[in-house]
Amino acid sequence: MENTGSWTDVHPAADVARRYRERGFWRDLTPAADLRRWARATPDAVAVAAYRAGSGMDRMTYREYADRVDRVTAILGELGLGQGDVVTVQLPNWWQLNAVVLACARLGAIAAPVVTSIRARELELMMSRLEPVAYVTTPVWDSYEHSAALGAIADRLPSVKHRIIVDGRAGPGEVDLARRLEEADPGLAGRGLPAEDPDRVSVVLFTSGTTGHPKAVLHSFNTLHAGYAALAVRGGLSSADVLYTPHSVGHVVGQLVANLLPLYLGGQALISEAWEPEAAVRLLEECGVTCVVGAPVFIEAIAHATRRQSLGMPRLRQVIATATAIPDGLAGAVRADLGVALLGGFGMTEIGAASLTSAAGDPPDWAAHSIGRPFDCMEAGLRSEGEASTHNPARLLVRGANVCLATMPRDSGQVSLLAEDGDGWYDTGDLAIPDGRDGLRLVGRAADRIGEVFMIPATDVENALRQHPDISDAALVGYGPGSSLPCAIVVSQRPLTLEGVREYLDGIGMTDWYRPTRLELLDQLPRNPTGKIDKHYLRTWLSSR
């Protein structure tokens, strides 16, 4: 990996890029080229179905979508944005967010999506680190005044030259994107643009910070492409597929499933501005969604909402739970309520899509036990003292074509290049063991490790706790010296005692030292926008009690 100075200039070494191209993992095209390809080949096919509660469904053909992206490209170009300029975009799941990412690809600029739940303090930290030239947002979303929040910190962000407002009244000095879209000449998008480079830093995504402070992850379009192209092959996806994810399109899962992968396939993306399970399942049925990808908490909500509404989804053929270990019972619920097998996959911001189980090659409900075999574009290594086992899990390390170019802590700015020289291994921070079928089983996060000589398998204990008749959700968090003691933090509608919970676990045969020595009850567990339990918050909360 090479860096000629600024983080915006990070790019892979020539021999690495050549090797990945020779193996078919990388290519010479960007997603913007995918859009142009399908606009020519299948101009009348639906590219994006974008739903908003106030205005309904906006279905765009590939021809129409390409025209809109050309107009956004022309607008950004007229504002002077170009090679290496950073554009922060903070929007709900609207088509304009994806269009900005694609426009940046054409201009050689760098898109930095930020989820809408990020507020002014954290936004300032992120933008101070990235020094964006432009910020794209909406005046108000979910009762929060985004453009006003930026205005309050604008004096401390001198790099921001343009504030671009989507779907709302633009204030003094702000660019009204809706009005400019009507006036823009899409033909300008093809004039005087640099050659599209899929190897350089193109997209910056921030980790959720579930186990610590967030960091910026620097991806090229090729590092992202290696993962989602492999997902398409393993999942048997094609241009006939309609893909949906509940995740924010400002998050890595959202970008892959709701933007880049459908464009690569020539398929259709369904995006909905807000996550609400009852409304989501009606959209899935209406649009004939064939593939759903999301964290287990979202998949579970979709299955339950489908059952409550007695809906049928005849076109649905694939449901993929990703990003974390899958709770016991979810595979059965998906099979019963959605009529398909649940697949288990693994991914994270730093490596995009990385593995997947197989509906045809693995046993039924294997997703409850495994994240599947790593994709061919990536090597996985397990590092442990002695043989990896449930009691002695290994740290999961990866290297390959889907691993990001570099990372940069939000609060320090020290760029860490993920070079492919030497060993080139990246520590994911996850703990895993072999699944017995050439794949992997996640056991937990290294930061969430509980125990002294042996580790308590938090995921297994949490699954067991959720089977308790009075517990609807559960997390196991370490406390005490070295966070070595297990505390169960649960959601229950009835009073519970530690003794009662321990007796229940003893009754199902759980190892004595796995059982919690402390119990806390909450109305609900804190989760980040990706649906993962925020254990960093829970540990902090627990230590203050």
Provide the pairing of β-strand 268-272 with 242-244. parallel
Buried b (16+ CB within 10 A) or exposed e, 249-286: bbbbbbbbbbbbbbbbbbbbbbbbbebebeebbbbbbe
Q: How confident is the model at residue 455, as a pLDDT?
A: 67
Length of the chain: 545
Amino acid at 246: P
Q: What is the pLDDT of residue 421?
A: 44
Task: Confirm or reject CATH 3.40.50.300 for domain 449-543, answering yes or no.
Answer: no
Residues 6+ apart with CB under 8 A from 326: 296, 342, 344, 367, 368
- pLDDT tens-digit readout, 457-503: 787 789 889 999 999 999 999 988 767 789 999 999 899 999 999 99
Three-state SS for 162? strand
Characterize the bridge pairing of strands 140-141 and 144-145: antiparallel
Report long-range pairs for 522-528 (Cβ below 8 Å, ≥24 apart).
Answer: 522/489, 522/490, 522/491, 523/491, 524/473, 524/491, 525/473, 525/474, 525/475, 525/489, 525/491, 527/297, 528/208, 528/209, 528/210
Rounded-to-integer distance, Cα 95 and Cα 57, Å:
11
Please state, in angstroms and rounded to a whole number, the distance separating the CA atoms of residues 32 and 22.
Answer: 22
Q: How far apart are CA 185 and CA 474, in angstroms?
A: 54
Beta bridge partners of 113: 89
Q: Give me the helix-helix angle, 95-107 and 31-41, nearest 10°.
A: 110
- What CA–CA distances, in Å, run from 395 to 164, 408, 433? 43, 21, 9
The whole-number pLDDT of residue 453 equals: 46
Low-confidence ranges of the chain (pLDDT < 50): 210-212, 421-422, 453
Kindly report, residue by residue over 411-434, the tens digit of the pLDDT. Answer: 676 888 875 544 789 999 888 999
With respect to CATH, is domain 10-28+240-445 assigned 3.40.50.12780? yes
Non-local CB neighbours of 207 within 8 Å, separated by 6+ positions? 214, 215, 217, 348, 349, 350
User: Scanning the structure block, which residue is given the tokens 């909402």?
Assistant: 305
For the chain, give every domain's residue range. Answer: 10-28+240-445, 449-543
pLDDT of residue 312: 83
Contacts of 500 (CB under 8 A, 6+ apart): none
